[in-house]
Amino acid sequence: MDLDVSVRYRLDPDRVPEIHRNVGPDYLNKIIRPASQAVVRNVIARYSPIERKVESQGNG
């Protein structure tokens, strides 16, 4: 199964210095992407393989 997901995020402007200090400028790859992937995995895991197949066939 291939899945493309777009995630919109916004850093809290007040926390930008803290994020850059503690995580660095690569926060997208260190925090945003892994957290987003985990959420998508957890949501998909709620469905059985049959439910996922039926859903994907209905959208296309």
Assess whether pLDDT exceeds 90 at residue 58: no
Predicted TM-score of the model (pTM): 0.67
pLDDT at 39: 94
Assess whether pLDDT exceeds 80 at residue 7: yes
DSSP readout, 3-53? ----------GGGHHHHHHHT-TTHIIIIIHHHHHHHHHHHHHTS-HHHHH
Reported as a single tens digit per residue, the pLDDT across 18-28 is 999 999 999 99
Where do the structural domains in the chain lie, given as residue ranges? 28-60
Q: How far is CA 16 from CA 8, 27, 32, 33, in A?
A: 17, 10, 14, 17
pLDDT at 3: 80
d(CA 57, CA 28): 32
Assess whether pLDDT exceeds 90 at residue 57: no
What is the overall mean pLDDT for the chain?
86
